[in-house]
Amino acid sequence: MKVLQITNVSFTVKKFLLPLVDEMIEQKYDVHIACYKDETGYEVEKDGYVVHHIPFQRNMNVFSHFKSMVALVKLIRKERFDIVHSHTPVASLVARVSARLVNVPLSVYTAHGFYFHENMKPIPYKINYWLEKIWAKYFTDKLFFQSKEDYELALAKCFQKPENLIHISNGVSGNRFNPELYSREKSRESLGSNDEKVIIFVGRLVREKGIVELIEAFHLVLNEIKDATLLIVGDSVTGDRDGMNVEQLIQSMPFETKERIQLLGMREDIPELLCAADLFVLPSYREGLPRSIIEAMAMGKPIVATDVRGCREEVFPDVNGYLCKAKDSNSLADTIIEILKDETKLKLFGENSRRLFLEEFNEKVVLERQMKVFNQFREERSLNKRPRK
């Protein structure tokens, strides 16, 4: 059975989709990938995966989307895929129409987080809401949801028949993200942060991740906690709509602040960096069900995040961290200070994060929920194709 996994950029493939691709290959599916194939895409291809270059634009340029759709229709017709599984909002809109035009037997969309959200202005909210609802109803056979809030909304608003809406959650590997495998002392020594309070952010460096508020809040934190250090891990990726020059923003801060910020760029050693940290912070304006928080939970870290969809499903106040207001650097700073000043809470919240991860966010369970749908479809197709006696 042939499957096409579709997303905007190869960064998403490498960082998020390969565990599912590997699981499908292990269970004897013939899996192809379609995305904008940049340097990361060629790296994935060198590792033995089949990657097709389909340039998607992360904007509302209808002409560009039409070109992507034509290329995708040609690919699907040529390869005769049984399943098209799409990810990310814009690419999925194009992919699901393409799949319908070619009569693909099963079109699946994973909502990593609906683009419409509570902090959006009314008109953009309604436009994005109706796009998602129309595409769900007419161009999608099965919808997977990472966020339970998204799932419950789609169920209440009748996006599709209830049996076609599946909450899969999100997860990471408990084998890789395991604090027992790493040395905190060595990790901190490599960063030059032996005796400091280390705050860490991991994510794309775009405005909606709350980078501006994070740096402003850190400046305020230093007034109370002089030995604090901020690690910013990540970079912008191809096609980001609201990328920004974070280095320039840091340099605009007072000397005492910018000297205590480390801009680390893209890193492969995320578990080691999390091991070195005392607190994980994610001040996003919107999320689906953020994987970065799950990684921090798996490594036993207390969390400070904004009170938005997704974060609310992972961070429980006074259990494993705190939630603060979005787009509010003062609220963020106050929350960080409160938790960093209390050693008992730092330890307790970290232990609770690890426990919650093991109970709710193990990658193995998330993969099983998806494979159950694919395997059921494969079995049904196999029965339908058997010759009658």
Over residues 213-237, the pLDDT tens digits come to: 999 999 999 999 999 999 999 988 7
Please give the C-alpha separations between residue 301 and each of 141, 152, 273, 315, 321, in angstroms, as whole numbers. 38, 29, 11, 11, 9
Going residue by residue through the chain, which has 389 residues, state the pLDDT in tens, using 9 for 90 and above.
Answer: 999 999 999 999 998 999 999 999 999 999 999 999 999 999 999 999 999 999 987 767 788 899 999 999 999 999 999 999 999 888 999 999 999 999 999 999 999 999 888 888 999 999 999 999 999 999 999 999 999 999 999 999 999 999 999 999 999 999 999 999 999 999 998 888 777 899 999 999 999 999 999 999 999 999 999 999 999 999 887 666 667 789 999 999 999 999 999 999 999 999 999 999 999 999 999 998 999 999 999 999 999 999 999 999 999 999 999 999 999 999 999 999 999 999 999 999 999 999 999 999 989 999 999 999 999 999 999 887 655 44
Evaluate whether the domain defined by 2-171+363-385 bears CATH number 3.100.10.20: no
pLDDT in tens, 106-134: 999 999 999 888 888 999 999 999 999 99
Q: Which backbone phi and psi does 297 adopt, to 5 degrees?
A: -60, -45
Structural domain boundaries in the chain: 2-171+363-385, 179-360
265 secondary structure, DSSP code? E
User: 30-36 and 2-9 as β-strands: parallel, antiparallel, unpaired?
Assistant: parallel
> Quick one: pLDDT at residue 240?
61
Three-state secondary structure call for residue 47: coil
> Quick one: pLDDT at residue 389?
41
Sheet with 2-9, edge to edge strand ranges: 50-53, 30-36, 2-9, 83-87, 106-111, 142-145, 165-167
Contact 324, 335 (CB under 8 A): yes
> Quick one: pLDDT at residue 239?
60
Q: Which CATH number fits the domain 179-360, given the four candidates 3.40.50.2000, 3.40.50.10860, 2.30.110.10, 3.90.550.10? A: 3.40.50.2000
| Residue found by looking up tokens 């159950």 in the block | 372
Q: Which backbone phi and psi does 62 adopt, to 5 degrees?
A: -60, -40
Contact 232, 263 (CB under 8 A): yes
User: 303-306 and 197-202 as β-strands: parallel, antiparallel, unpaired?
Assistant: unpaired
Q: Which amino acid is at 195?
A: D
> Quick one: pLDDT at residue 388?
43
